[in-house]
Structure 1
Amino acid sequence: MHYTQNQKISQITPSTLIIGIDIAKDKHVARAQDDRGIEFGKRLVFENRIHGFQLLLDWMERHQKKNGKNHVIFGVEPTGHYWLNLAYFLRAKGFDFVLVNPMHVKKSKELDDNSPTKNDTKDARVIAQLIKDGRYSVPNLLEGIYAELREGVKLRDQLTKQLMIIEGRIQNSIQRYYPEFFDVFGDWEGKAALCTLRLFPFPSQIREMTPEEVLARWKPFVQRGVGLKRATKLVETAKKSVGIQIGIRFAKQELDCLLDQYDLFKKQLKELDEELEVLVDTLPGAKEMKNIPGMGSTTVALFYAEVGDITKYSHPQQLVNLAGLSLREHSSGKFKGQTRISKRGRSRLRRALYLAIRPMVAHNPTFKALHQYYTKRADRPLKKQQSLIALCCKLLRVLFVIGNKQCEFDGSLLLRGIPQINELQAA
């Protein structure tokens, strides 16, 4: 699944037929060549349909027989999501399928003809040439429960994003029509606050009511936490409100729609989290991961949704590279540039790790001790942000071991070999 450069090059032999494919929405372009770069025949244009895929296979078989090739490798430049259908189709047929970096295609397209011209036919040729030189990667095409988990996590991100948008629009409405609302309620998502927004959200409606009437309207929905004092304050602030007093009719209708959407997204998100938790519990090592102080089901689900089957990785550094947490540096001669993370990887995995490590630094004794050591050690102390990134890599290595061995987390193993921490714990 993850090969060195030499291993990639060694897979391209004189008996290999290399097919580079430029991906588009409806029609793809394919070109074939051998390991020396000699092209076979003309290009093939085929549709993103089953008959187009079959046309590709027939075209490939003709080139195989004509040129005596017994091994075929297909390569594409990933364009959006349009390449996935072809990838799963060819993988199901048992063919080798690889990806080339779009940036590599862009930067190497002038090597053959010294021209900045770009078109589908030329790109397919450039893709095949990159594969010949071993400049490709093997995609992590998830299957089974891991594919289900990735789709579930993607849906969760969409629901969370929509929920944040709705929450912002609700607060926008409150600030325009009743800015003093937050003088009465600290949070608009509380039971009494939501009840008020549902029943009488605008000052013009509240002014006509007495505190006793407000309290009576609250009681069927809110049993505790509100009283006459809160109702009196609501009425008094409504009488002095500077909120907008025009367009109330449709503003109320807009707010009702927003609150309905808010309730719907909250319900869908809760149900989805329950389903994801049940799904995650069936994965190897998931329960042990959730036992780590500070780790939750959502983080474990995000980890497996991005990584897939952990047993397909032979070294934890592969996970670090996948997350884009590997270090990069620009240096030349006596100049030594600043070291940063590459960010060449799955941004959703990187974000999940970062959001997980922050509470772990505060509540997990092991990672808290490591963070203090990294930031306060005498020899090359790290900045706080650098320490958090280093701990994200450490967490990835922990998850790699737990996923492969299904063992419990032992924080003492991480602290072993650090004299300052050991002396502190002994004291």
Structure 2
Amino acid sequence: MNFTQNEKLKQLSERSIVIGVDIASELHYARAFDWRGVELGKVFKFENSAEGFKNLYAWIERIKRQAQKDSIVVGAEPTGHYWFGLASYLKEQNIKLVLVNPFHVKRSKELDDNHPSKTDAKDPKTIAKLVIEGRYNEPYIPEGLYAELRIAVTCRVRIQKEMNSIKNRIQRWLKIYFPEHETVFGKFDATSSMLVLQVAPLPRDIERLGVEGINRIWRDNKLRAVGMKRAKSLYEAAQKSIGCTEGESCSRMEIQLLLQDYHTKTAQYQAVTETIDGLCRQIPEVAKLLEIKGVGLVTVAGFLSEVGDIKRFNSPKQIQKLAGLALRESSSGKHKGQTTISKRGRARLRAILFQAVMPLVAKNAEFAEIHNYYTTRTQNPLKKKQSLIALSCKLIRVFYAILTKGTDYDPKKLIMDIHRPVEYLAA
């Protein structure tokens, strides 16, 4: 998956042309250079459309004939989502695309002219020079099942955020118009609460219904968990309510719209979750991952959606680096700085791993034991958060072994990995 810089440099030869492309929403700029950095031709502009891509391909072919070269490498910045279309087109044409870090472009733009300007015509040259120096990465674009899974998980995350937003708005509405509501139901999204809110959201509406009317709503919907006692509590809370009484008509409309949004998002969330479950079940090793106590479908699906085909990695350390969990040290001379994680990588993958480790420490005996060892050992004890990061890296290694080798999860082997196997054997 990863090449060293020397291997990247060896991929360019005298027969290579490096094309730097500055990507924007509508108009892209391209410049061509040979492997030594000598420019071939002038700046070329093309639109972000099928016609524009055809013009780019014709320009590349013309440059190839004029320079008598046969190998093309296109370098670009991963600008938002605008580069996806170009990447797909270049793949169809069997042209290699590599990506450079925008931070590197920003820092190296003054090397040629000693000027801080940053223009659409200048950036392609800076990008191409970084590619020539081997300072690039080859993008991974998921295919097939993994592409479907990434889209589905992204949808789930988006829907979850929207659901949380709607929940907050409903809670805000209740605090304004019926603050006593939570003393009766606790959570507004309880079935008994939602049924009443749809019919009688305001305290005045509940007073008009009466205790019998409230109880009838639950009986008609065959709800047995609540009865006259809860109905009476709700009625009394409505009578004593200090909620706002102005704008009742539109406040009813507002809560009805919010409840409709909530039901819609809940249905969407369930549908996407079922889709994710179906996709994950197509990967044979997923069942073995789910056998680990404390690991659920959300964790496994999120991990696979971010990592993609795990067999493209040669080592779990590469996944650790992808997640931004590689160690970073700042030392000079006798000074030894504090070691931290790099946080350079896929932030969502890092979050998924960290969120997965916390329930593992609480529910999984092996992970809890290792966490206890890391935080209480005599030499170099870790802080709790540092231990959770270390366990995130260990979880990567566990997932990697199961997904690549098809082995079963072995709790004893996990315990033996820490540096005191004799004590465990004696126990």
TM-score, normalization by structure 2: 0.97
**Comparing 58-67 with 165-174, which one deviates more in the overlay?**
58-67
Deviations 1:217-262 (A, max 9, x none): 3221252221222122112111111100111111111101111111
2:389 corresponds to: 389
> What is the CA–CA distance in structure 2 between the aligned matches of 1:412 and 1:31, rounded to whole Å?
57
Query: Please, which moves more after superposition, 222-231 or 182-191?
Result: 222-231
Aligned residues: 427
Aligned pairs (5 A) from 1:68-107: 68-107=68-107
1:24 and 2:24 are equivalent in the alignment:
yes
Q: How far 1:75 moved relative to its partner?
A: 0.6
- The 5 A counterparts of 1:136-285 are 136-285=136-285
The DSSP-based 3-state class of the residue aligned with 2:174 is helix
- In structure 1, stretches of 5+ residues that fail to align are none
For the residue of structure 2 that corresponds to 1:403, the secondary structure is: helix
The Cα offsets for residues 146-184 of structure 1, whole Å up to 9 and x where unpaired, read as 111111111111111111111111101111001011111
CA distance in 2, matches of 1:245, 1:404: 63
- Per the TM alignment, residue 191 of structure 1 is displaced from its structure 2 partner at its CA by 1.3
Please list, as runs of the form range in 1=range in 2, the aligned pairs for 1:305-320 lying within 5 A after superposition.
Answer: 305-320=305-320
- CA positional deviation for 1:425: 6.9
Q: Which amino acid aligns with 1:158?
A: R
> Would you say 1:415 and 2:415 are equivalent positions?
yes
Find the counterpart in structure 1 of residue 372 from structure 2: 372
Please, which runs of 5 or more residues in structure 2 have no aligned partner?
A: none
Q: CA deviation at 1:125?
A: 0.3
Per-residue deviation, 1:424 = 5.0
Matched to 2:342, the amino acid is S
Is contact 2:323-2:345 (8 Å) kept?
A: yes
- Deviation string, structure 1 residues 13-64 (Cα, Å, up to 9, x no partner): 2221101100011111110111111111101101111221121122112222
Contact 1:285 1:405 survives alignment (8 Å)? no
Confirm or deny: 8 A CA contact 1:33 1:39 kept in the other structure.
Answer: yes
Contact 1:369 1:421 (8 Å CA) reproduced: no
Contact 1:88 1:141 in 2 (8 A): no
> Deviation of residue 284 (structure 1)?
4.4
User: Which is further off, 138-147 or 198-207?
Assistant: 198-207
Give the counterpart letter for 1:90 in structure 2. L
1:345 corresponds to 2:356: no
Q: Which aligned runs of 4 or more in structure 1 are off by greater than 4 angstroms?
A: 419-422
1:355-387 Cα deviation digits (max 9, x unpaired): 111111111122111111111111111111111
Q: Normalising by the residue count of structure 1, what TM-score does the alignment of the two structures yield?
A: 0.97
Q: How far 1:213 moved relative to its partner?
A: 3.0
RMSD: 1.5
Output one character per residue of 1:108-163: Cα deviation in whole Å (capped at 9) or x when no partner.
00000000111011000000000000000010111111111111111111111111
Distance 1:306 1:261 in 2: 29
Residues 9 and 133 in structure 1, CA contact (< 8 A), matched pair in contact too? yes
Give, in angstroms, the shift of residue 422 of structure 1: 5.5
- Given residue 24 of structure 1, which amino acid in structure 2 is its aligned partner? A
Determine the C-alpha separation between the residues in 2 that align with 1:418 and 1:400. 18
Question: Could you tell me how far apart the structure 1 residues matched to 2:39 and 2:155 are?
Answer: 43
* Contact 1:100-1:137 within 8 A present in 2 as well: yes
Aligned AA (1:133) = E
Contact 1:192 1:222 in 2 (8 A): no
Asked if 1:130 is matched to 2:133, the reply is no
Task: Sort the Cα spacing of 1:336 and 1:231 in 2 relative to 1 into closer, same or farther, 3 A.
Answer: same
After superposition, residues 280-359 of structure 1 pair within 5 angstroms as: 280-359=280-359
